[in-house]
Structure formats: C-alpha cells, structure tokens
Amino acid sequence: MCGWTHRLSLALLVLIALSVRLQGQWMTVVAADGTGDFATVAEAVRSLPPGEDRKVIFIKNGVYTEKIRLTRSNVTLRGESREGTILQFNQKSEDFTKNPDSIGRAVINIEADDIIIEGMTIVNTNPEIGPHAFTILGRGTRTVILNCNVWSKGADTVSLWNKEEGMYYHADCDFRGSVDFVCPRGWCFIRDSKFYEERRSAAIWHDGSFAEDQKFVIRNSQFDGVDSFYLGRHHWDAQFYLIDCTFSARMNENPIFRKTYPEEPARDRPFNWGPRYYFYNCHKTGGDYAWHADNLSTADPTLKPESITPEWTFAGKWDPEAQNQPQINGHDIEGHTLTLTFSEPVSAFGRPVLKGKRGRKFTYRSGSGGLTLTFTANKPFAEADLNNLKMIGKERIVASAASAVERPVRLSFGRN
C-alpha cells in the first residue's frame, strides 16, 4: 500500500469512527431497522433543505433496496461499512425507457455538484450480463467515490457524463460490469482500485472530445475479468493514462482501440487528436504486451510519472487530494456579533462554538455554505478576545467542496 493510500485509509477510518460517535448531532442518520432519522436513503435525501452547505447522510449497516436521485449539491453519502451498507436496485436501462419514473435509470442518479459517496456497496442487481444497467449515473462535476464497491453485470456501471465540465475522483474502489463499465466523459482520476470485466468486452471507455486536455487517468490499479476481456475502447476522441497498473493473464492481446462503423460511416465520431494511450510501469501476469510499454514521453517529453496527480489531471481547477485548510481572510466585530470571512466556502456541522484565550465563547449563528460565518457572544467583546481561537465540543467547520479527505478550517487568528 502506497503512503498516500495508507494516509487516506486512516483518514477514512477516523471519519467513520467520528461519524458513529456523532450520530444525530449534525447529520441525518438512516437505519433500516428504524433506529435512525429515516428508514430509507430516499427519505433522507428528500429531507435535505436547500442550501450550499455540505450535508452528510450517514447510512447504517443494512440492505436498502431502493434507488435515489441527488439534486442538491454538497451532499455526502457515508456508509457505516463498505461491506455492511448495501444500496441495491434492479434497474435495466431499457426497462426504464419503457416505464420511466422521476428518479432515474440508475441506482444513484446525480444531478448536482460536489457529491461524495464513501464506505458502502452500490449494486444494480439486474441479473443479465451485457445490457445497460447503470449503478451510478451522474451529470454534475467534482464527484468523489471512495472506499466503495460499485457493481453491475451490465454495461456502463459508473457513468459520469458531464461532457463539458465533468471532473471525477475515485479511490480504493472495486468496479464491476460488462461493457465500458467505467466510462467517464470529461476528466477522471482513479487510484488504488480494482476493475473486473464480466464479459468479453472492454472494461474502460472515455469521451474526451469536448476539450483536447480532457483525460482519464488510472494509477496503481488492477484489471481482471473473464477470459480474453479487453482493456478499453472509445468512440469519441479520448486520452488514457495508465500508471503502475497490473493486468491479469486473461486480458486480450488487443490494445485500447477506437470503435468505428465501416458499414455505417455516418455513425463514426470525430477523431481530431488521434490515438492517445499512455502507459508507465504497467505489467501483465504471464508476460507483457508491447502496446502497454512505457511511452509517457510521446505525450510530453518532459512529463514524469510522479507529476501525474489529480491536480495535474484537472489542470489546477480542482485538487481532491489537497489537505490545505480554509483560512480566515478577515473579520468584523459589531456588538455581540463576530463575522469571519474564509478563503473558500465552508460548512458548519452542528452549532460550533469557538473559544478565545481570555475565555470568551462564540456560538455559530449563520452562513454555512458561504465564505462568511457569523457567531454571537453573550456580551460585547474586544479584539483581544479573538486571540488563540479554538473549536470546543464535537462540532466542526470544514471546507464545503468535495475532496478525498475532510479539510477543517484553520482558526489561526491574532496572536495565537
């Protein structure tokens, strides 16, 4: 296990343990046995108030046979355990086409930004191998999937399809499906994950046709499947980077390829930028194929494997692995009220209380989801009361944007 993966795993364990201790205090709890705020995930999702602050739905161990639709941004679905929290539904795409509903054609349907799904198993239980059977279908950007099993026997298991702006990050996941079962449009970075192909077809697919910089990066991951499965293909312009990956002996000898229609050329998609399939330190059990030999230099002679990070993938627009803390950029004092302005939007979990060096306490009042939060004291206060501010109690304030690790605010202020 690489150092970054180890740190991520420890961070997730800490968050899950903390979540268990804080049930009911600042998040919505789902429990199939009726001991939570709701018995179904769908009810919990519908209960969320409008707003831009992050909301956490904690899903206790159990089997939830339902599908959901997320239309509110900045929502975290957090399972109690990867193997114990199971969200499942039997939904073949063609059946949905014949009998549509308001939820969608996947188990989890995402129509929002900054969604985090972590620590659970999501399964499309349609038993047929081959037809479209979406497990996660998304149209937003900055979608994060961590420490999850995401399974289907059909095609397009994980379909994140914001072609213009979509950025997606997945880590420590197990993906299964039968045709193009991880098929992002836009930018995608995946690390430390497993892929299993249920059919003699392509495992991964990419649409990077909207902008030449769009790419699909996979690091330190394993590929397996039925005998003679294919690694990948694409219809549109695409760009693949596979770094430190391993392939089972069952992988087909054919490389990633562009799907064309010789008998129906009108169906062919534009191919503006040519073949772009890049590899570094990728090996196959039983012997390597020539087509996955190291060739990063053909993408850019200066490109080093260690430079291929999420921040590089998303061209600096988003770094889900960043651990920087939101900073206080300014403050205002008026009577009993303290207003703090942060370097990025932040969310208050519960009603956080701050305490200064001289003992004055400030209780959160409003602003969660924005750049400014207001707090009130029980009587007027002075600048000196803000020195050495600390959070007391179990509540906290964190960055709102989706990320791999929760980023609490840094309360350095005055003469700390």
Q: Determine the pLDDT at residue 2.
A: 55
Reported as a single tens digit per residue, the pLDDT across 201-228 is: 999 999 999 999 999 999 999 999 999 9
* 34 and 74 Cβ atoms separated by less than 8 Å: no
Question: Is the pLDDT reported for residue 270 higher than 70?
Answer: yes
> Over 147-164, what HEC string results?
CCEEECCCECCEEECCCC
- In angstroms, what CA-CA distances link 149 with 4, 87, 146, 203, 352? 20, 10, 9, 16, 34
pLDDT higher for 18 or 387?
387
Q: What is the value of pTM for the model shown?
A: 0.93
Reported as a single tens digit per residue, the pLDDT across 308-350 is: 999 999 999 999 999 999 999 999 999 999 999 999 999 999 9
Alpha-carbon distance of 22 to 284, in angstroms, equals 45
Alpha-carbon distance of 201 to 230, in angstroms, equals 5
Domains and their CATH numbers in the chain: 3-313 (2.160.20.10), 328-399 (no CATH)
The rounded mean pLDDT for the chain is 93
CA-based nearest residue to 18, from 65, 76, 88: 76
> In 318-359, where does DSSP find H-type helix?
none
Q: Determine the pLDDT at residue 15.
A: 46
Q: Determine the pLDDT at residue 26.
A: 77
Burial of residue 267, with CB atoms counted within 10 A of its CB: 0-12 exposed, 13-18 middle, 19 or more buried? exposed
Alpha-carbon distance of 388 to 316, in angstroms, equals 33
pLDDT band at 412; cut points 50, 70, 90 = confident
Q: Determine the pLDDT at residue 8.
A: 57
Least confident of 15-24, 223-232, 269-278: 15-24
* 167 and 192 Cβ atoms separated by less than 8 Å: no
SS3 395: coil
